[in-house]
């Protein structure tokens, strides 16, 4: 009897699973081609605002894929594919190279860009060629390392904290800045956090979302900001969508904000207009 059930389950689920697997495989192949062809992937840039000066102090580069059939795909759709098929390191290298190329394009156009932050995946951070890759990209592009910030998630940085310190120190020696992304969602070992040569914590949007209604989230935001300042780190709040959220973060002495309240991530051209002063932030 059990065998019959198992067979039925097999017959029922197999076609659906293989459709999914086929689609996944196809997307994987297409992502590989997109990476080679270098004409479907793009970076969008989301502004970061300093809460005290009201100035634009940074841009976060966020990857997008203009798929020929499916239109614009967000990283949530294809980064897991890249992770699962060994493409993530190549994708991360493409991102760093494109950030440097974009800085050069803005320079050539006379557009003054602030520091640009790129997200570094766990596999890229663990890559034995990371430092050599970065050195090569910087040398090829001529970009000043001081114009780049690397975002590492809290979980990535805490996976092997001793080796994180060593790699972060090497990155810092080159003049690159480091931020801890999605702070508050992982498990931070505070003894290590204090030894990481990082300059900023990005307070995860999970704590920003209900800041107005949820006193606990407010308490967490205050505590993270106070602790960060004690450790001489700045805090950028992610996912700020409303004016009351901005006001609460300012009252909590948060340093900077990023989110839809200011701007969605912008294509390079639109971002250039913003940087040139053609469009104002609220
Ligand atoms: P993240 O690094 O934490 O980036 C912030 C995400 O929040 C972005 O989603 C951004 O569009 C979104 N966001 C910004 N402001 C708001 C807001 O006010 N409200 C809401 N609800 N969301 C907001 P996105 O672009 O879909 O990226 C998702 C994640 O994918 C990123 O999270 C990052 O972990 C990853 N990712 C994106 N680009 C790259 C990349 O080039 N390399 C790597 N390794 N990961 C990337
Ligand atoms: Mg990020
Ligand atoms: Mg984040
Ligand atoms: Mg996130």
Give the pLDDT band (50/70/90) at residue 4: very low
Rounded Cα gap, residues 63 and 93, in angstroms: 12
263 lines ligand 1 (CB under 6 A): no
Model confidence at 222: pLDDT above 80: yes
What pLDDT, in 10s, does the model give residues 93-106?
999 999 999 999 99
Model confidence at 206: pLDDT above 70: yes
Q: What average pLDDT does the segment 200-210 reach?
A: 96
30 lines ligand 1 (CB under 6 A): no
Q: How many CA atoms lie within 13 A of 193 on its CB side?
A: 23
Residues whose CB is less than 8 angstroms from the CB of residue 116 and which lie 6 or more positions away in sequence, other chains included: 45, 58, 59, 60, 61, 99, 102, 103, 147, 148, 149
Residues whose CB is less than 8 angstroms from the CB of residue 86 and which lie 6 or more positions away in sequence, other chains included: none
Model confidence at 82: pLDDT above 90: yes
What pLDDT, in 10s, does the model give residues 112-168?
999 999 999 999 999 999 999 999 999 999 999 999 999 999 999 999 999 999 999
pTM over the 0.90 mark = yes
Which of 206, 281, 208 is closest to 240 using CA atoms? 208
Largest distance between two CA atoms of the chain = 75
Report the helix count and the strand count for the chain, using DSSP H and E: 12, 9
Higher pLDDT, 71 or 9: 71
C-alpha distances (whole Å) from 46 to each of 57, 195, 244 are 11, 29, 20
What interface predicted TM-score (ipTM) does this complex get?
0.97
Residue nearest ligand 1's atom 43 by CA: 119
| 62 CA distance to ligand 1 middle (Å) | 6
| 236 CA distance to ligand 3 middle (Å) | 10
């Amino acid at each position: 009897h059990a065998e019959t059930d198992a067979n039925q389950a097999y017959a029922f689920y197999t076609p659906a699973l293989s459709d999914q697997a086929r689609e996944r495989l196809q997307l994987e192949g297409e992502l590989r081609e997109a990476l080679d062809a270098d004409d479907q992937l793009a970076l969008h840039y989301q502004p970061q605002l300093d809460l005290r000066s009201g100035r634009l102090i940074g841009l976060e580069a966020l990857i997008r894929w203009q798929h020929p059939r499916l239109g614009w795909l967000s990283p949530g759709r294809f980064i897991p594919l890249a992770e699962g098929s060994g493409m993530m390191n190549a994708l991360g290298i493409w991102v760093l190279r494109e950030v440097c190329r974009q800085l050069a394009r803005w320079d050539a156009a006379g557009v003054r860009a602030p520091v640009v932050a790129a997200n570094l995946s766990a596999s890229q951070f663990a890559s034995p060629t990371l430092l050599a890759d970065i050195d090569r990209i910087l040398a090829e592009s001529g970009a000043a390392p001081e114009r780049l910030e690397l975002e590492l998630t809290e979980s990535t940085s805490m996976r092997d904290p001793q080796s994180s310190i060593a790699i972060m120190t090497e990155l810092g020696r080159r003049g690159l800045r480091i931020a801890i992304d999605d702070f508050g969602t992982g498990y931070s070992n505070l003894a290590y956090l204090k030894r990481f040569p990082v300059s900023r914590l990005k307070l995860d949007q999970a704590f920003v979302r209900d800041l107005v209604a949820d006193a606990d989230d407010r308490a967490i935001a205050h505590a993270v900001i106070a602790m960060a300042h004690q450790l001489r780190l700045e805090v950028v709040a992610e996912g700020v969508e409303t004016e009351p959220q901005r006001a609460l973060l300012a009252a909590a002495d948060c340093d900077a904000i990023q989110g839809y309240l200011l701007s969605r991530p912008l294509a390079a051209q639109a971002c250039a207009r913003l940087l040139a002063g053609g469009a104002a932030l609220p």
